[in-house]
Amino acid sequence: MSIQQPSKRAGNIVKKSNAAIRMGRRVSRQPYGQRRFMPRNMILLVLVIVALVGAYSYGRGKVVKIGDGDTVSILNSDGSFGKIRLYGIDCPENGQPGGAEAAAFTSDLAFLEEVKITTVNIDQYGRTVGMVHLPNGRMLNEELLRNGHAWVYRAYCKEPWCASWLQLERQAKAERKGLWAQKKPTPPWEWRKKNNSRR
């Protein structure tokens, strides 16, 4: 029985591989058909993006009541009522310095207006937590920050746009707008602790 000798080309490949190993280099081998799976990976990425975008829900309604600067009640298009807690910001409470001004500002911009709601989640009190978009295209959450009537609620504002909201807060503070005209305003989360008030 004869043993077939390896071809000259195969021998050269073996020699080059051995030489690469001796020099401490790793020989890369790409499995056959690997490129076949790239479209599946791309499809998976698209599905993940779609799922993230779809994590938010949207609705419309008329603002019929102002609870305080960051809480409003709306009449939904289906005739039901809902309470909206503005996501990512915290206004001074009613009874706290700056609270009445924040509520008045929200009322001036939103009361009896048809608004669009982007829901982020539902809080422990059953309130919708989200962004309120005004008829002029601006967002109530951002307008409160821009005009110095709210803090960024750092404990809960975790979305990518929260970084730009912090910049709005810093700018309002630098210009001493709204509550920042006070010498040392107390953040509402600290005020609530002292006064045993819920958020």
Domain ranges in the chain are 57-195
SS3 196: coil
- Confidence grade of residue 58 (pLDDT, cut at 50, 70, 90): confident
The catalytic position among 22, 29, 60, 93 is 93
- Ranges of H-type helices in 3-139: 8-22, 38-53, 99-110
Does residue 106 register a pLDDT over 80? yes
Return the pLDDT at 3: 37
pLDDT tens per residue across span 123-165: 999 999 999 999 999 999 999 999 999 999 999 999 999 999 9
93 among known catalytic residues? yes
Tell which residue, 120, 113, 114, 126, has the closest CA to residue 82: 126
The catalytic position among 113, 114, 127, 192 is 127
pTM: 0.72
C-beta of residue 102 within 8 angstroms of C-beta of residue 91:
yes
19 — phi, psi (to 5°)? Answer: -65, -40
Architecture of domain 57-195: Beta Barrel (2.40)
The catalytic position among 25, 29, 35, 85 is 85
What is the rounded average pLDDT of the residues 39-67? Answer: 69
- Confidence grade of residue 41 (pLDDT, cut at 50, 70, 90): low
- According to DSSP, the β-strands at 81-86 and 128-133 are parallel
Extract the tokens encoding 108. 């001036």
